[in-house]
């Protein structure tokens, strides 16, 4: 075959496969132990493969651990745009929004995560906690008769 064909089908594919295996071996312990390194690591992974939703989602988790919620939101949005059925990206988006006290938006993303992964106990728990926070939050109108967004979300019709 041609040199190009060989590069695409042979050594390049083997190198990519080998890298993906060692990549995951390195990434697993990284994300739980050294968060700044994980951010950098996933940034490099994204440079190599910018269409991988998992890399964006994992970097979003690292950003959240560092308190960089705007960074987490950006990466979750990117992960969702790449893979609209990736429930974990919606769940992490909910966490970041909740941390920014954007509770109604967080509820939306937790519900979407549950729609995609209905048995996920973490999403159920996070949704419940966020809805409870919304009930306890003071009404923006200052009165008890304020707009009930949680009720509206629970009974949209």
Considering only CA atoms, which of 91, 157, 76, 72 is closest in space to residue 130?
91
**Segments forming the whole domain that contains residue 121:** 31-136
Residue with tokens 């080998």: 18
In a domain, 157, yes or no: no
In a domain, 100, yes or no: yes
Cα gap 98→63, rounded to integer Å: 14
Model confidence pTM above 0.75: no
In a domain, 17, yes or no: no
Q: What is the pLDDT of residues 98-123, one digit of tens each?
A: 999 999 999 999 999 999 999 999 99
In a domain, 58, yes or no: yes
12-84-112-106 Cα dihedral, nearest 10 degrees: 80
For the chain, what is the domain count? 1
Could you tell me the CATH number of the domain that includes residue 116?
A: 1.25.40.10
Q: Are 130 and 102 in contact (CB under 8 A)?
A: no
Assigned token pair, 75:
């990466």
In a domain, 87, yes or no: yes
Q: What is the share, in percent, of the chain residues with pLDDT greater than 70?
A: 67
Considering only CA atoms, which of 92, 97, 94, 111 is closest in space to residue 152?
111
Q: What is the pLDDT of residues 51-73, one digit of tens each?
A: 999 999 999 999 999 999 999 99
Lowest mean pLDDT among 8-22, 47-61, 83-97, 108-122: 8-22
- H helix or E strand, kind and range, residue 103: helix 103-116
In a domain, 8, yes or no: no
In a domain, 19, yes or no: no
In a domain, 77, yes or no: yes
């Amino acid at each position: 075959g041609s040199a190009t064909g060989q590069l695409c089908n042979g050594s390049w594919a083997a190198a990519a496969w080998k890298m993906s295996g060692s990549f995951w071996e390195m990434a697993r312990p990284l994300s739980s132990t050294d968060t700044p390194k994980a951010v950098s690591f996933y940034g490099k992974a994204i440079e190599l493969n910018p269409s991988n939703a998992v890399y964006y989602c994992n970097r979003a988790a690292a950003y959240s651990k560092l308190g960089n919620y705007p960074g987490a939101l950006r990466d979750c949005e990117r992960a969702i745009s790449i893979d609209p059925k990736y429930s974990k990206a919606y769940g992490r988006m909910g966490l970041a929004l909740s941390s920014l006290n954007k509770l109604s938006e967080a509820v939306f993303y937790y519900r979407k995560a549950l729609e995609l992964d209905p048995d996920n106990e973490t999403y159920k728990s996070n949704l419940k906690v966020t809805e409870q926070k919304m009930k306890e939050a003071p009404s923006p109108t200052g009165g008890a008769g304020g707009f009930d967004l949680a009720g509206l979300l629970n009974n949209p019709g």
